[in-house]
Amino acid sequence: MTKVKVVFFASLKESVKCDAYTLECDLPMSIAQLKTQLSSELENGQALLEQGIQSSVDFEFTRDSDQVTEAVQEVAFFPPVTGG
Neighbouring C-beta atoms of residue 71, cutoff 10 Å: 10
pLDDT of 60 reads 97
Answer whether residue 83 is part of any domain.
Answer: no
Q: From the CA atom positions of the chain, what is the Rg in Å?
A: 12
Answer whether residue 36 is part of any domain.
Answer: yes
pLDDT digits (tens, 9 = 90+) for 42-63: 999 999 999 999 999 999 999 9
CATH of the domain at 13: 3.10.20.30
pTM confidence score? 0.91
Reported confidence tier of residue 80, pLDDT bands at 50, 70, 90: confident
Does residue 34 have a pLDDT over 70?
yes
Between vectors from CA 7 to CA 6 and to CA 10, what angle results, nearest 5°? 150
pLDDT of 84 reads 54
Mean pLDDT calculated for residue range 7-21: 95
